[in-house]
Structure formats: structure tokens, C-alpha cells
Chain A
Amino acid sequence: MASDLMPGLLESGDPARSSGYSGPPPRMGFFTDTSVCIGCKACEVACKEWNHVPEDGLNFTGMSYDNTGGLGADTWRHVAFIEQRVVPAGGSAARAGVRWLMSSDVCKHCTHAACLDVCPTGSLFRTEFGTVVVQEDICNGCGYCIPACPYGVIDQRKGDGRAWKCTLCYDRLSVGVEPACAKTCPTDSIQFGPLDELRERAQRRVTQLHEAGVTDARLYGEDPSDGVGGGGAFFLLLDEPEVYGLPPDPVVTTRDLPAMYRAVAAAAAALASAVALAFLGAGR
């Protein structure tokens, strides 16, 4: 249905190959294991340093140790900080304590990337590593990618008008070194590598945590059958995704685009018929 209207839309498998690369390198990505994140924000700093990302405001949010807030044009890694009141396993309510959850968020580099689909100029493109990158010299500042992203990743840089986001350090990948955030992460919470390997490693890690009694551990964004075809960057979380500011069941908006175009065609036909009927009915 989708394929004859828009070739390439919602094809499964290797995004680099379906974007036309012949014999691409393995798809690369991030596995962010939040269970070992210590919230140091070294990833935020390294990202800014390497990519010359401008200052994103010296704000005091007053809500937690997170003064960055969320991903945006000038924040390509964002460390979420959550403080929860919890009851320890097997304990009574009187023993309620506090736990801290920390998680470094990043662009998911979706298999079915809405930002890339809706970009009218081709500024957003798929690299040979299967990642999604903005070519800033082509970006037209139309802003369509921004509300298209189901995760709220890409955003407009003020005073510039163009859209910016994580490139998964395309320049570094091209010369065979890992992205700045993964390189600097002191606990290897951010792990970089071929996506297949990361998925296997993540599965082992969840099993390990479950066996140790950390029943909250779950993977987020690793499933190729989810609404975005699986992320190139995925996570191990210790609570529901929405607690970290992540959508629980994101869907690429272009999945419904063929249906939208059909509705537009029907409505356009209805418009023409309605006007014609009005003229027919009115006589002179």
C-alpha cells in the first residue's frame, strides 16, 4: 500500500541499504544502559565540545539536578535526573526511601525517521552507517522536522532558523572512532557499536539484572517491530519511558501518510463536487 505510492517508506531491515547504499558498513548505534549512569553529564559536555554546539542557557530549573531540561537544537545529549519515593523490595511502607534515576537521552536515529521523511529539501539524510544527519548548508529552516519527531529531539536554533540535532558524530564515525559522548562516558553507560552487537549485549544485560532482582529493568527502543522500526539508539530503563520524558509507544507519523493522502484526495473531490452541485442547483 505504502510502497507503490512512496518507495522506501516503511521498508524494514537495513535503513542504509534501503536508502540506496550498496554494501554499507554495519549499522552503528548507541546502547545507553541507564542502570550504570551516574548523572555526571560528561556526555553533554563532550558533545558540545566536539560538535561546537552553542551554549543552551544557564538556567536553574529548580526541579532537580537537571538544569538542561530536554533535547533541543543546542542540546544533543541530555541527562535526565529523576528522584522517586520508593518502597524497597519486601519492605514495608515505613521503610520507604528515595531512588535516583539518571539517563542520558539522545536522538534515536530511527529506522523509520519521521524527520527525514518530511524534510522537503533533502537536508536530512541517511548516512551509510544507518544514522540520520542534517546537512546544515541545505536546511531551509521550514521547521517541519521539529513537530514530526515523536521524541522531541530535533529543534530550531534561535537566531539561525535551521534545525539541529545529534549526528552520532558522523565525522568521527567516518574515521573509525566512536562518538564523543560514548568516548567520554566514565561508566560505559553509553555504549557505541554495531547495532546487532549492541542488541545482543543489551539482552544479556537485562537478563543479568533480572536475575539479580532488578525486575524494573527493561529495554526501550530496541525492538525492530515498534512504531519507528526500532531505534539506532536504544536504552535500558528502570522505569516506564514516560518517567524519563520518553514516549511510551512512539509511531512514525508517515506510517499514516498514505491514508492521509487518500483522505485529501477524497476531500478535494468532495470540494469540487460541492461547488459544482451548488451551481447546478442554483440555476440562474
Chain B
Amino acid sequence: MSGVTRQGVQGVRPGREAVSGVQMGAKKRPERRAGRRDGEQPVVGEATFQSYYGKPIINKPVWESPDIPGYLFLGGTAGASSVVAALAQVTGRPSLGRAAKVTSTVTAALSGFALVHDLGRPGRFLNMLRAFKPTSPMSMGSWLLGAYAPLSAAASFSALTGRLPRVGSAATAGAAALGPGVATYTAALISNTAVPAWHEGYRYMPFVFAASACSSAAGMGLVAARPAETGPVRVLGIGAAALEGLLMRRMRRSMGVAGEAFQESHEAHRFEIGAAALSVAGIALAALGRRSRVASAAGGASMVAGSALERFAIFEAGMASAENPRYTVVPQRTRLEQR
């Protein structure tokens, strides 16, 4: 038996230098295209590629729905709501401020719950705070969330009870300062993977998330605040919901082959159609239903639901792109050929 010891390699086997395959493998026959496992008809113009029996190259994320897409949505709603809350307080809109603060606290708590559910037990969230690691967006996010959630809770406590107004104001300002980061860091979290439909979108993903977060936070404001105070969130919601759809399209186009996962995955496709329909409904109801509390609230709810479905669409597209080797192989092969 050969072995590498501290004295060097010993007992090397003679077979190591065998020259095998001399006669074979000069020309491979143009083979059947691998990659399609389910007998689906290939799309016209699809690049041909090879794979190992159509098996995926990367391992699929073990993150599950609805925990993780839910977390992306809830974190976004919380973060943007804190910004809305602070501005509502500064501009003298107590009802909107209260609604936004409570929204941020409840969604932050739910997002924490989703995270813990995904990790398995609560102690594991605390383990996240054992290291501070800038190369891991998850580590950065844990610290961000750890600082943000108590601030949001303090702001809500003060707003609901009327106690400790100074502490409440400081907490409101603090939560508003961290909120935009809470709403957008999750884009880096999922983009910083080898999942093609997530990684390739890294330039646009934070902006999609920002728009989606504004849309859902504004939607919650329309649902929960006194109509007289909802002017700003009406404008914000309409703008953000429209922008969300545009940015999403832009992102998909910028991703090349990986963008096709949004079409190929039936779930992602369905979620995206739903998100678009709800956004349009939300915009229409919020714009036209100015005088009706019911129409405004329905518009707000549509925006919230549309924003949530957008995150589910992104999540499912990522999963689909991880399962199919095409999304990994074709762009890498193209890159090599262009080099």
C-alpha cells in the first residue's frame, strides 16, 4: 500500500503512471442534450449544454418556504415602516406613526419567529451573535436585527402607552436609521450565494427589495392609519408598487440565462403574475379610492400582498435555478468561451 508519511511517499503503486484511454475519446459524438429530466420540450434557441445525467451542480438551499421568503417580506415591511413611523411623528401624524410603529414591531417579531423556525430553536439565533463577520451578510444581518428589534419595540411601547415619550422618540429615530438596512440587507444575503437567479441579480436585488418594502409599509399605513393622515403613504405606495414591477423586470433582463428561471418555475411565474396583478389593483384603488376608506384599505392590502408575492417569486426562481444545471453551466461555459 502506498502512503504519504512524514518521511515522504512510500510504496507508490505502478498503476499510477498507466496510460489509459489512448484509443478513445478523440471525438465525442454530438450527444443528446442532457439536462431535461422530465421530458419537457426545450425552448427554441436554448443553448445546448452537457451535464451529469441532468443532476444539479450546486446543492439547493435547505431554506424553506414560507419561512425564508416570509422573512424577506416581513423584514422589508418592518424596516420601511420604521422610516414611515419617524417621518409621521416628525410631521405630526400620530395615527400613521402609531400604525407604522406597531407594524414594524409585529413584522419584526414575526420575522424573528420565521428565522428561529428555520433554525430549529431560539437559542440558535443567539449563537448568531457569537461572531461578527463582515464576509457573511447573515452575520451582519443578525447584528442589525438584534439592534433594530428592541428599538422598534421601544418605539411601539411608548406610542401605545404614552409613557417615556423621550425614550420613544429616540427609539423611533434609531429604528428609522437602521430600518433601511434591515429592509435591504436581505438582498445581499440571498445574492451572496451560488444560486444563479439570486447571485446574478445582485445589482438590482437591493433596489427591488427597497421598492417592495416601501410598497408593503405604505400599504399597511393605508390599511391602519386614519384616512386624514394617509396622504404620504398613498403617494409612497403608488410610486413604490409601480417601481417594484419595473425594477423586477429590469433585474430579470439583466440576469441573462438565470432570468429565465422566473419563467421556467411554475411557482415563481404564478407568484409573479399574482404580484403584478395585486400591485396594479393596489395602485388603482389607492389612486382612485382617495375618498373611500374601504377602497384605500383594500388598495393598501393589495400592495402588501403584492409585495409578499414578489419575495415568494424571487425565492422560488432561485430554487428552480439551483435545481437545473443549465443555469449554472450555460453562463459559465459562455464566460469561458468569451475569455
Contacts and interface: CB of A to CB of B under 8 A. Distances in A.
A and B associate in one complex: yes
Interface residues of A, number: 108
A205 B17 CA distance: 8
B28 A36 contact: no
Contacts of B57: 151-152, 242, 245-247
Nearest to B93: A279
A156 to B, nearest CB: 4
B4 A245 contact: no
Given A250-B332, A253-B193, A269-B180, A69 B55 contact: yes
Nearest to B12: A188
A242 B50 contact: yes
Contacts of A257: 135, 137, 188, 192
Contacts, number: 318
Contacts of B3: 177-178, 183
Nearest to B90: A279
B278 interface: no
A271 B19 contact: no
B52 A253 contact: no
B207 A238 contact: no
Contact of A216 (B21, B199, B235, B336): B21
B42 interface: no
A270 B207 contact: yes
Interface residues of B, number: 105
B5 interface: yes
B327 to A, nearest CB: 11
A88 B26 contact: yes
Contacts of B43: none
Contact of B53 (A63, A86, A87, A239): A63
A278 B232 contact: yes
B303 to A, nearest CB: 13
Contacts of B20: 35-36, 214
A63 B195 CA distance: 26
A281 B22 CA distance: 76
Nearest to A178: B4
B28 A84 contact: yes
Contacts of A284: 231
B127 A121 contact: yes
A58 interface: no
Interface stretch (A14-22, A47-55, A89-97, A126-134): A89-97
A240 B203 contact: no
Given A35-B20, A242-B329, A283-B231, A263 B55 contact: no
Interface in B240-259: 240
B28 A86 contact: yes
B6 interface: yes
Given A99-B24, A245-B55, A209 B19 contact: yes
Contact of B19 (A61, A161, A208, A256): A208
Given A114-B194, A141-B119, A177 B5 contact: yes
B166 interface: no
A233 interface: no
Given A86-B29, A243-B50, A279 B232 contact: yes
Nearest to B194: A150
Given A80-B52, A244-B52, A264-B187, A117 B135 contact: yes
A222 interface: no
Contacts of A114: 193-194
A274 B239 contact: yes
Given A88-B26, A186-B13, A247-B57, A254 B207 contact: no
B52 A188 contact: no
A214 B214 contact: no
Interface stretch (B59-67, B153-161, B283-291): B59-67
Contact of A144 (B59, B88, B136, B333): B136
Nearest to B76: A271
Interface in A124-160: 138, 140-144, 146-156
A85 B31 contact: yes
A45 interface: no
A32 interface: no
B27 A9 contact: no
B105 interface: no
B62 A146 contact: yes
Contacts of B192: 118, 148, 253-254, 256-257, 260
Interface of A: 5-6, 8-9, 33, 35-36, 61, 63-64, 69-72, 80, 82, 84-90, 93, 96-97, 99, 114, 117-122, 138, 140-144, 146-156, 161, 176-178, 182-183, 186-188, 191-193, 205, 208-209, 212-216, 238-240, 242-250, 253-254, 256-257, 259-261, 263-264, 266-272, 274-276, 278-279, 281-284
Given A120-B136, A260-B188, 18 more contacts: A36-B16, A84-B31, A85-B29, A120-B128, A120-B139, A140-B128, A176-B6, A187-B13, A188-B15, A212-B19, A214-B21, A238-B25, A240-B50, A245-B55, A257-B135, A264-B181, A271-B80, A278-B239
Interface of B: 1-6, 9, 12-13, 15-29, 31, 49-53, 55-63, 79-80, 83-84, 87-88, 91, 118-120, 124, 127-128, 130-131, 133-139, 142, 176, 179-181, 183-185, 187-188, 191-195, 198-199, 202-207, 209-210, 213-214, 218, 231-236, 239-240, 322, 325, 328-329, 332-333, 335-336
29 contacts: A35-B18, A64-B53, A70-B52, A80-B52, A84-B28, A86-B29, A97-B24, A118-B135, A118-B137, A118-B138, A120-B139, A146-B59, A147-B60, A149-B194, A152-B56, A176-B6, A186-B13, A239-B25, A245-B51, A247-B58, A248-B333, A263-B202, A271-B83, A271-B210, A274-B240, A275-B232, A278-B236, A278-B239, A279-B87
